[in-house]
Amino acid sequence: MTTAAPPGRDIAYRGFHLPADRSAGTGHGVRATPSGLTLTDPPERDDPTEPTAPDSLPEGVLGPVLRGRWTSPPVPTGFDVAEVVPSWTADTPDGCWIEVELRGWHGDGPATRWYPLARWAADDRTVRRTSVPGQRDAGARVDTDTLLVTGATVTGWQVRVTLCRPADRPAGPVLRSVGAVATGRAHHTPPAGPEPTSPAGAGRGIVLDVPRYSQRLHAGQHPQWGGGGDSWCSPTCTSMVLAYFGAAPAPERYAWVDPPGPRPVVVHAARHCYDHAYAGAGNWPFNTAYAGLHGLDAFVTRLRSLAEAEAFIVAGIPLIVSAAFRSGEVPGLDYDTRGHLMVLVGFTTAGDPVLNDPYAPDDDAVRRTVPRERFETVWQRGSGGVAYVLRPRSVPLPPAPAQSNW
């Protein structure tokens, strides 16, 4: 059963799982395998219709580079788009990478040029994982992980992913999924008065047993990845949810962490979510892509309310949510932040959110209960309701609204 979207909250997500959805788009130099799309055998050097500029290779990669590309169909949204955030899951052997691009669409054709959003690799030993800042023109601009529509009229989007393998490497990337969430312009219009709080529903009284990890236990450690633990809210949250689903990396994968500190698995996540251009580990799709490396279906979306979030809690899926607030705005969260990630683990019987907030002095202090109205306001105002959805394929998503945002 689906429900109608609340008025004025235009949000739509569309994802493509590969190879099942391969025929929905177009491919060049890629072939289907049971685990996703990979390069053809023998691979092709480049797409002759859209050659790659010689200076586009990552530092340290000297070519030649073998490439393949999958381009989604245009995805109409049915509303005037203000923002688009892509996300994906893939595997990249050492030395290989993928490039993710977005463009706006309107009517029968492109509304903007292609904008690179990410050069992504699972590891960082050869290719530095990075967003592509500084892109701006009359149609749109890029803000780290988000395409912001400025002068163009956009009512849809299209994504393409290029799989890249140096010719001297024995294996190439595998693309498992890619999608994007689009948000309408109405979301960016300040309300005339206080926004109503969503009523508590079926999630009341359900609290999922997500382990509690404090990011602040890592304060000052490994500052090369975003300054250390005080800034690691996103990878700490991602680590909590991976552990909840029994999908955390095995100890041998983070044996390199020296000194091991209080929880080396969080250091592993911070390193492998780190965005070298952003200089932090809070890039939204880099965190969901990291979760995808551990076998989970993972994507970034936006939710319209805590009522929608309750459906995930009922389904057994904790959510990683992004909020911004000043000290005193939300009782129980007594600090300032321009953007902070927390795990929504459930609701009290009265419908108040129960959080695993990693910005705590120790693990015991991570669990916090906050007022529903105050928290919903800072979540929706701060990020437009951003949420990471991480789950094993064996755990079904809840039924989506009529204007589907998952």
CATH code where residue 54 lies: 2.60.120
User: Whole domain around residue 247: which residue ranges?
Assistant: 215-391
- For 296-317, what is the mean pLDDT? 98
Asked if residue 119 has pLDDT above 80, the reply is yes
* Residue 206 belongs to some domain of the structure: no
- For 32-46, what is the mean pLDDT? 85
Report the alpha-carbon angle 349-354-357, nearest 5: 170
**Cβ–Cβ < 8 Å for 345, 46:** no
Question: Same structural domain for residues 175 and 236?
Answer: no
- For 110-134, what is the mean pLDDT? 95
* Residue 101 belongs to some domain of the structure: yes
Phi/psi zone of residue 36: left (φ > 0), alpha (ψ -120 to 50 degrees), beta?
left
Question: Same structural domain for residues 326 and 372?
Answer: yes
- For 60-76, what is the mean pLDDT? 92
Distance, in Å, from the CA atom of 139 to the CA atom of 153, rounded to the nearest integer, reads 8
Give 318-348 as a DSSP string: -EEEEEEE-TTSSTT--S-EEEEEEEEEEE-
* Residue 87 belongs to some domain of the structure: yes
Question: Same structural domain for residues 181 and 221?
Answer: no
Question: Same structural domain for residues 183 and 274?
Answer: no
Asked if residue 209 has pLDDT above 80, the reply is yes
Asked if residue 171 has pLDDT above 60, the reply is yes
Residue at a domain's end among 170, 188, 206: 188
Question: Same structural domain for residues 247 and 335?
Answer: yes
Cα 175 to Cα 13, 79, 130, 141, distances in angstroms: 19, 29, 18, 26
User: Which one-letter amino acid corresponds to residue 327?
Assistant: S
Distance, in Å, from the CA atom of 129 to the CA atom of 267, rounded to the nearest integer, reads 16
91-105, 188-202, 349-363: lowest mean pLDDT where?
A: 188-202
**CA nearest 151: which of 126, 185, 181, 191?**
185
**CATH at residue 359:** 3.90.70.10
What pLDDT is attached to residue 2?
A: 40
Question: Same structural domain for residues 152 and 222?
Answer: no
**CA nearest 36: which of 292, 390, 397?**
292
Q: Are strands 81-91 and 174-184 parallel, antiparallel or unpaired?
A: antiparallel
> Is the preceding omega at residue 19 within 30 degrees of 0, hence cis?
yes
Question: Same structural domain for residues 316 and 357?
Answer: yes
- For 240-247, what is the mean pLDDT? 98
Question: Same structural domain for residues 135 and 226?
Answer: no
Question: Same structural domain for residues 262 and 129?
Answer: no
End-to-end CA distance of the chain: 14
Question: Same structural domain for residues 113 and 252?
Answer: no
Cα 393 to Cα 295, 297, 317, distances in angstroms: 9, 6, 11
Please report which confidence band the pLDDT of residue 44 belongs to, taking 50, 70 and 90 as the band edges: low
Give me the half-sphere count of Cα atoms (radius 13 Å) on the Cβ side of residue 327. Answer: 3
Instruction: Kindly state the DSSP code that residue 53 receives in the 8-state scheme.
Output: P
Distance, in Å, from the CA atom of 341 to the CA atom of 215, rounded to the nearest integer, reads 11
Asked if residue 269 has pLDDT above 70, the reply is yes
* Residue 331 belongs to some domain of the structure: yes
What pLDDT is attached to residue 62?
A: 75
* Residue 338 belongs to some domain of the structure: yes
Residue at a domain's end among 144, 171, 188: 188
**Cβ–Cβ < 8 Å for 11, 79:** no
How many domains are there within the chain? Answer: 2
* Residue 313 belongs to some domain of the structure: yes
What pLDDT is attached to residue 193?
A: 43
Question: Same structural domain for residues 245 and 331?
Answer: yes
Asked if residue 328 has pLDDT above 90, the reply is yes
Please report which confidence band the pLDDT of residue 164 belongs to, taking 50, 70 and 90 as the band edges: very high
* Residue 3 belongs to some domain of the structure: no
Question: Same structural domain for residues 325 and 181?
Answer: no
* Residue 405 belongs to some domain of the structure: no
Distance, in Å, from the CA atom of 324 to the CA atom of 364, rounded to the nearest integer, reads 23
Distance, in Å, from the CA atom of 89 to the CA atom of 289, rounded to the nearest integer, reads 5
55-64, 74-83, 284-293: lowest mean pLDDT where?
A: 55-64
Structure tokens at 39: 């390069």
Please give the sequence-ordered ranges of beta strands (E in DSSP) within 260-399, or none if there are none.
Answer: 297-302, 319-325, 337-347, 353-356, 367-369, 386-391
> For 143-156, how does the pLDDT look when each residue is reduced to its tens digit (9 = 90+)?
999 999 999 999 99
